[in-house]
């Protein structure tokens, strides 16, 4: 059967750390500047305050329950979900594609193993149960909601580390997954370095603009918003950046310097 490769590349630990230092807004903006489609997993929210995730995606796809699916799925410890669990570690985020927002992808006893694996985080477009226990496990958990219901009656885990649809967003194994209080963003592995370069540059500029407006209050429109790769040197923003040592010679945010 013809199919493309599941993974689109590899994001090393150093780049992961750099991506995790940025806000999800900056990463979304970086992808937008490059012309990529929306990359935020819609509806996936942290189940507790101050949770975050940053890691390479390990993917798990659920399919609707059907008698033959339940019979043919590898049993017990050989189930695709436990295969996925064993691939997880401190630099991985398990991304679970549910069949619906209110269906449970797991809870206390299953996710105990993820704590033992020192998982960085879990992301799903479905729900989780045993919320207090999961919070106590210490890894970031982002879900549509929480529930008391079990999931097996509605769906079954079917494939580990394939290309999945999570919250309307494509996730490939190895993609960088970054989540904060605003949500979860999927950074495609193939362009992760470039996304970081653009997003980091944007955050630097936004910090400078905020500092200037704090010192000299006035309408933000003098400097903001701006389009990466299209800032004019002679504009008020261009002049402000020049005063801080940011010029077309050392930044790709100016007109004629875009390298994407």
pLDDT digits (tens, 9 = 90+) for 212-259: 999 999 999 999 999 999 999 999 999 999 999 999 999 999 999 998
Q: Which residues touch 43 (CB under 8 Å, ≥6 apart)?
A: 101, 125, 144, 167
Instruction: Judge whether 212 and 218 are in contact, CB under 8 Å.
Output: no
Whether the per-residue pLDDT at 151 is higher than 80: the answer is no
CA–CA separation, 64 vs 8, rounded Å? 27
Q: How far is CA 221 from the centre of its chain?
A: 30
Phi, psi of 177 (to 5 degrees): -115, 120
In whole angstroms, give the CA distance from residue 260 to residue 85: 36
DSSP labels for 31-46? Answer: HHHTTPPP-B-TT-EE
List, for residues 195-207, the tens digit of each pLDDT value.
999 999 999 999 9
Instruction: Say if CB 108 and CB 130 are below 8 A apart.
Output: yes
Identify which of 53, 134, 141, 59 has the alpha carbon closest to the alpha carbon of residue 91.
Answer: 53
Whether residue 9 has pLDDT greater than 90 = yes
CA angle 111, 117, 118 (to 5 degrees): 95
Helices (H), the chain: 13-20, 24-33, 67-72, 80-86, 108-116, 131-137, 192-215, 236-243
pLDDT value at residue 1? 74
Q: Kindly report the CA angle at 56 between 150 and 52, in degrees rounded to 5?
A: 65
Token readout for 245 is 């040592």
Please tell me the pTM assigned to this model.
Answer: 0.95
pLDDT at site 2:
85
pLDDT in tens, 113-129: 999 999 999 999 999 99
Please count the residues of the chain: 260
């Amino acid at each position: 059967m013809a199919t493309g490769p599941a993974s689109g590349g590899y994001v090393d630990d150093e780049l992961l750390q750099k991506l995790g230092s940025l806000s999800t807004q900056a990463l979304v903006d970086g992808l937008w500047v490059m012309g990529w489609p929306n990359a935020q997993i819609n509806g996936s929210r942290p189940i507790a305050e101050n949770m975050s995730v940053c890691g390479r995606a390990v993917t798990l796809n659920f399919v609707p329950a059907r008698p033959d699916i339940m019979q043919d799925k590898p049993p017990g410890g050989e189930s695709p979900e436990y295969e996925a669990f064993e691939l997880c570690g401190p630099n991985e985020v398990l991304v679970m594609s549910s069949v619906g927002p209110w269906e449970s992808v797991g809870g206390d006893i299953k996710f105990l193993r993820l704590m033992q694996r020192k998982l960085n985080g879990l992301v799903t477009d479905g729900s989780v149960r045993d919320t207090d226990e999961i919070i106590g496990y210490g890894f970031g958990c982002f879900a549509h909601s929480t529930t008391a219901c079990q999931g097996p009656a509605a769906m079954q885990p079917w494939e580990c580390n394939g290309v999945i649809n999570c919250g309307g967003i494509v996730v490939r194994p190895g993609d960088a997954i970054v989540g904060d209080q605003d949500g979860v963003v999927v950074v495609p592995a193939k362009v992760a370095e470039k996304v970081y370069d653009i997003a980091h540059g944007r955050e630097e500029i936004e910090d400078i603009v905020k500092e200037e407006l704090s010192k000299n209050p006035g309408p933000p429109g003098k400097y903001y918003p701006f389009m990466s790769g299209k800032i004019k040197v002679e504009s008020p923003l261009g002049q402000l950046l020049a005063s801080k040592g940011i010029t077309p010679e050392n930044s790709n945010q100016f007109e004629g310097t875009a390298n994407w």
